[in-house]
Amino acid sequence: MKDSTRQRIGLLSILVVAIIAIVIIVMIVMNSRRASVYLIPENYNGWVQIIYNQQSYPPIDTSLTKATFPIGSDGVLRTSTPEVSEGIAEDQYYWVDAQGERTPINTQKLIHGKSVRSSGTDGTEQDSETVAEEFFVGTEEAYKQTPAPSLENHL
């Protein structure tokens, strides 16, 4: 094979790899969201629910580079923010003591079952105005033994 043909094949290969890399980067950027910081009361174990579109409550604080979710002592946060942000991000989970000191939670061992669901005004699961983001804080064994709370209490 001639040197000019090898050079063309080499340049074409580099071009193809570059295009694939650009496509992957664009897909990642388009599917990203602002990272979330979940502030959970110290030593809280159980289900956490963030109930969206609750008009009489404040919106989620997004004034910094991350969205901050201060969870109540009952494991619930109600917010007027209309919906859950979707996409990929590196979220952070902390236990917070009475002085506001944060202790990171080991997400591999103690955060389970993160999901989003909604409930209609008749209590049936469907697309509607009551949307909840949920996850369990505790051991995997406790997670498996503790059913998720109903959304009917938040309608």
Give the chain's domain count.
Answer: 2
* Same-domain pairing of 71 and 10: no
- What is the predicted pLDDT for the residue at 55? 87
Q: Domain check: are 8 and 72 in the same one?
A: no
Q: Say whether 39 sits in a helix, a strand or coil.
A: strand
Whether 45 and 16 share a structural domain: no
Residues 34-81 pLDDT 10s: 789 999 999 999 999 999 988 899 999 887 788 899 999 999 999 998
What's the pLDDT at 112? Answer: 95
Question: Quick one: 143 and 116 in the same domain?
Answer: yes
Q: What is the pLDDT of residues 73-132, one digit of tens each?
A: 999 999 998 877 778 888 999 999 999 999 999 999 999 998 888 775 444 444 446 788
Q: How far does the chain reach from its first CA to its final CA, in angstroms? A: 73
pLDDT for residue 122: 46
- Between 130 and 26, residue with greater pLDDT: 130
Domain annotation covers residue 92: yes
pLDDT of residue 124: 47
On whether residue 155 sits in a domain, the answer given is no
- 41 and 24 within one domain: no
Number of H helices, E strands in the chain: 3, 8
- 49 is a domain residue: yes
